[in-house]
Amino acid sequence: MQSILILGRQPALGLAELESLYGADAVSVVSWQAAGLDKHVSVVDFARLGGSTRLAHVLATLPTTDWKQIERELPKLVTELALTLPDGKIQLGLSSFGLKVTTGKLAAAGLTLKKVLRSKNDRSARVIPNPELELNTAQVLHNKLTGPTGIELLFVATSDGKTVIARTHAVQDIESYTLRDRGRPKRDARVGMLPPKLAQILINLAASSIETSPEKIVLDPFCGTGVLLQEAMLMGFSVYGTDLEPRMVDYSRTNLDWLIENRDDVQSEILLEPGDATSYQWNPKPDFVAGEAYLGRPFTEKPSAEIVAQTASEVNLILKKFLSNLHGQLPEGARLCLAVPAWQISRNLFKHLPLIDQISDLGYNRIRFERIRDSELLYYREDQIVAREILVLTRK
């Protein structure tokens, strides 16, 4: 394990994303909120990951979670690390994930390390105060803890009673995500809003080992306002979007034009067309498919069992027609990832689409992941009625 990643709000999706991109053998489960990766941080395209909030380089793994024992190892570790840094005042922060330690003890450890750096390395340091056990991403970015003279030490308790100590290499750029979500010129709350982070996950689950290149085309058959196409372009893919509503196609075009105007690093080709996904013939053929399918009617309060059953039946018919239409247009082994609806009928109990149990009959194989169960591939809030269930398929 060379790197460690702190996973997002729904860790299973982050694990699936890592496994899809790097292979199950390279990924390990460190704890419920962290994953290990047998890759150096320098080769991890962190900006592409929607399911991880931090990427850090592993410095040491200790056979204990006792804070007093951990503290004893820190002076030597930090003095050696300081020798690799350029001149300048060191910015130092500490974050704990899963350890039994208080913010007061983290602060005391930080002050001790500040003194050690002065006495052993003749380096001045500023310690970032901890209002919580984990510094948030804004604190990390504002205090330049991922900069040349920045050190954020992560202490992550593992599931088997050890502690991983790592130095943060990158954190999610929250401002960029906010701009790509709320700053686009065209939005429509009535058709739902696919979060950019989830769009990244869907693309990565579908793309898997396909290298990013403008020569590779991702198809979103339900493109809406173009969030998924936007994220695919930022990764370096060319994009093909269709939607039943011409208005949505126009919204996508406006939003993608806005993206190109505001980013110098986008070189993708764009093809947008109105089209019914249950019958449309896509040309050129995509290299892979990713998107959020029709989720059915939105609910502001808990619907009756009859309404849920009726809605599920309607959506199921549409998506079966879509998968049947798509099947004849994909080569054998082509991969696709769809977010489809699942209805939370009681706390953490969901009604799923019937077609999920008929995937093989429809001409597809469902991809299984080694580190997580199918039932964990859900994106939702606790109070949300309509969840997004993630299906990763290959054409037979």
- List domains and CATH numbers for the chain: 3-172 (3.30.2130.30), 175-395 (3.40.50.150)
- Looking at the chain, the whole-number percentage of residues with pLDDT higher than 70 is 99
Contact 10, 54 (CB under 8 A): no
Question: Alpha-carbon distance 340 to 392, whole Å?
Answer: 11
The tens digit of pLDDT for each residue in 297-306 reads: 989 899 999 9
Distance of CA 253 to the CA centre of its chain: 25
The residue written with tokens 């059953």 in the block is: 309
Contact 337, 379 (CB under 8 A): no
Least confident stretch, 29-38, 119-128, 187-196: 187-196
Q: What is the pLDDT of residue 75?
A: 97
Q: Which residues contact 244 (CB under 8 A, 6 or more apart)?
A: 222, 274, 275, 276, 277
Contact 35, 5 (CB under 8 A): yes
Question: Alpha-carbon distance 149 to 173, whole Å?
Answer: 19
pLDDT at 190 over 80: no
The tens digit of pLDDT for each residue in 219-276 reads: 999 999 999 999 999 999 999 999 999 999 999 999 999 999 999 889 889 999 999 9
Contact 224, 239 (CB under 8 A): no
Query: What pTM was computed for the model?
Result: 0.96
pLDDT at 192 over 70: no
Q: What is the pLDDT of residue 193?
A: 82
Q: For residue 304, which of 348, 341, 351, 354 has the smallest C-alpha distance?
A: 351
Least confident stretch, 43-52, 183-192, 337-346, 367-376: 183-192
Average predicted confidence (pLDDT) for the chain: 96
Q: Which residues contact 304 (CB under 8 A, 6 or more apart)?
A: none
The tens digit of pLDDT for each residue in 263-300 reads: 988 988 999 999 999 999 999 999 999 999 999 998 98
pLDDT at 191 over 90: no
Segment holding 274, helix H or strand E: strand 270-274
293 three-class SS? coil
